[in-house]
Amino acid sequence: MVFNTLYRMVYPFLAVFSRGLGVDLTTLSLAMTNRSLVGMLGAFLATISDRWGRKAGMLFGIGLFVIGAGVLVIWPSYPGFVIMLILTTLGKYGFDPAMQAYLGDRIPYARRGLAISVTELGWSLSFFIGIPLVSLLIARKGWQSPFVWLALAGIVAGAVLIWLIPRDSAPEGNPRKLLGNFWQVLQYPPALVALSVGISATIANEVINLMFGVWMEASFDLKVIALGGAAAVIGAAELSAETLTATLADRLGKVRSIAIGLIANSIAALAFPLIGGTLPGAIISLFLFFITFEFLLVSSIPMMTEIMPGSRATLMAFNVAGLSLGRAIGSFIAPTLFGWGIAASAGAAIFFDLLALLAVRRLAQTVS
């Protein structure tokens, strides 16, 4: 939840950070694009987990996160903001694959959807609890204030992880070097198809995700606290989605759940131009869009953990890198699309969802 609060707080408060840093929205969106491109380097961090153990990978990610948040505390400026984005993103993308591989090593595949869904509560709770708290801090203490508390929370999270997680070692029978692990992933067609699903679906999400705070502030004159409330609605949607995933993904099958989520997300995107002209309609649109996206995304994670068990952390890092690439593409095109109206953003989301659905059809032949 700590990782994801910092990662996601930029979206609803994009205009707030833009004013605080003294840069325009286009400049800030480019920083977000760069963050996502740098996040692709998370695939290299996965080798820490595959070669030195899952706990080492998780601790390394937490360390980068704390340093990144601390940079902005010491240097509250646009360059400091960019460095913060890079380090905290690398930290998250180093931590997540190691954590998911840790669960993949220990939880049977038949119940892994439930286990992954529980950890993904940190994603939804970041919007349900973390972002509203951030909005209070910004309103009372200024735009820099949340970073102090997030850095301290990262230190506490690292201490708890050291205490609770037993020391482990690299998985047996996996002594391959970095390039060997990468090459094996790139040579395996089901892995590439699965990665393309995440890339396309994430582009679809990002064209809405990046601009929804700007859209709601411009359309309905929402202030910081109200934007925090809107973020809580998204958090509630994602919390509901993770509950659905925990209940249904193992029963329906992971691939079928992904397909259902993509179809539902495409339908939900239509709500923005159809009912998004009023504040209640906009809130409903956001709820539907994010609950369906979170359902398909969380359903995809346990599937990914089983495609290449021998290089599990490396493939999970490739998955994180693919999602990051999708966010980079989405954040790059989002301002231009939004310039044509929210309907253009919704149309692009539907297009990329359908591309992902085509890949899922092919994937269904090899994975369940």
What Å distances lie between residue 53 and 58, 163, 319, 320, CA to CA?
Answer: 9, 16, 19, 18
* 308-317 burial code (b ≥16 CB/10 A, e <16): beebbbbbbb
Report the pLDDT value the prediction gives residue 238, as an integer from 0 to 100: 79
**pLDDT tens series, the chain, 368 aa:** 999 999 888 878 888 888 888 888 778 878 887 887 777 776 567 667 667 778 888 999 999 999 999 999 999 899 999 999 999 988 988 888 888 888 888 888 778 878 877 888 888 788 788 888 998 999 888 888 999 999 999 999 999 999 988 877 655 544 455 566 677 777 788 888 889 999 999 999 999 988 877 777 777 776 666 667 777 777 788 788 878 887 887 888 888 899 999 999 999 999 998 888 888 888 888 889 988 998 998 888 888 877 877 777 778 778 878 888 898 899 889 888 988 988 999 999 999 999 999 988 887 666 65
Q: Cβ(295)–Cβ(257) under 8 Å? A: yes
Q: Is residue 170 part of a domain?
A: no
Q: Is 67 exposed, middle or buried (0-12, 13-18, 19+ CB in 10 A)?
A: middle
* Helix boundaries (H) for 253-311: 254-269, 271-275, 279-307
Q: Is residue 133 part of a domain?
A: yes
What range does the domain containing 51 cover? 2-165+177-363
* 269-300 burial code (b ≥16 CB/10 A, e <16): bbbbbeebeeeeebbbbbbbbbbbbbbbbbbb
Report the pLDDT value the prediction gives residue 177, as an integer from 0 to 100: 56
What does the alpha-carbon distance between residue 151 and residue 296 come to, in Å, rounded to a whole number? 31
Listed in sequence order, the residues at least 6 apart from 53 whose beta carbon sits closer than 8 Å to its beta carbon are 167, 168, 169, 170
CATH of the domain at 211: 1.20.1250.20
Listed in sequence order, the residues at least 6 apart from 316 whose beta carbon sits closer than 8 Å to its beta carbon are 46, 96, 97, 100, 101, 104, 304, 305
Q: Is residue 171 part of a domain?
A: no
What does the alpha-carbon distance between residue 134 and residue 9 come to, in Å, rounded to a whole number? 8
Residue 337's identity, in one-letter code, is: L
Q: Is residue 368 part of a domain?
A: no
Q: Is residue 151 part of a domain?
A: yes
Q: Is residue 89 part of a domain?
A: yes
User: To the nearest whole number, what is the mean pLDDT of the chain?
Assistant: 84
Q: Is 164 exposed, middle or buried (0-12, 13-18, 19+ CB in 10 A)?
A: exposed
Provide the residue count of the chain: 368
Report the pLDDT value the prediction gives residue 175, as an integer from 0 to 100: 45
A 10 A CB-CB count for 65 gives 30
Q: Is residue 25 part of a domain?
A: yes
Total domains in the chain come to 1
